[in-house]
Amino acid sequence: MKEILAEFEDFLKAHDTSIFHSFHPYFQNAFWEMVVNGGKRFRPSLLFSVILANKKEKIKDSFNIALAIEVLHTYSLIHDDLPAMDNSPLRRSHPTLHIKYDETSAILSGDALNTYSFYLISNSRFNDKTKIALIKSLSFGALKMVLGQACDCYFENKILQKNEVDFIHTNKTAALIASSLEMGGIIAELTDKEIQNLHKFGMKLGLFFQIRDDVIDATSKEATEGKPINNDTNKNSYVNLLGIEKAKKAKDELKNDLLLELQNMQENIQENLQQILQSY
87 to each of 91, 142, 221, how far by Cα in Å? 11, 21, 18
Exposure string of 86-121, with b = 16+ CB inside 10 Å and e = fewer, is bebebbbebebbbbbbeeebbbbbbebbbebbbebb
What is the amino acid identity at position 133? A
What class, spelled out in words, does domain 2-277 have in CATH? mainly alpha
- pLDDT tens per residue across all 280 residues of the chain: 889 999 999 999 999 999 999 999 999 999 999 999 988 999 999 999 999 999 999 999 999 999 999 999 999 999 999 999 999 999 988 999 999 999 999 999 999 999 999 999 999 999 999 999 999 999 999 999 999 999 999 999 898 999 999 999 999 999 999 999 999 999 999 999 999 999 999 999 999 999 999 999 888 765 455 656 555 566 789 999 999 999 999 999 999 999 999 998 999 999 999 999 988 8
User: What's the angle, vertex CA 220, arms to CA 218 and CA 222, rounded to 5?
Assistant: 110
Which of 267, 259, 262, 217 is closest to 238 using CA atoms?
217
Phi and psi at residue 184, in whole multiples of 5°?
A: -60, -40
Provide CB contacts within 8 A for 115, sequence distance 6+: none
Convert the pLDDT of each residue in 82-123 to its tens digit.
999 999 999 988 999 999 999 999 999 999 999 999 999 999
CA–CA dist 194, 196 (Å, integer): 5
Q: Considering the chain, what percentage of its residues have pLDDT values greater than 90? A: 87
pLDDT at 110: 98
Q: For helices 128-154 and 63-80, give the axis angle rounded to 10 degrees.
A: 20
Delimit the domains of the chain by residue range: 2-277
pTM reported for the whole predicted model: 0.93
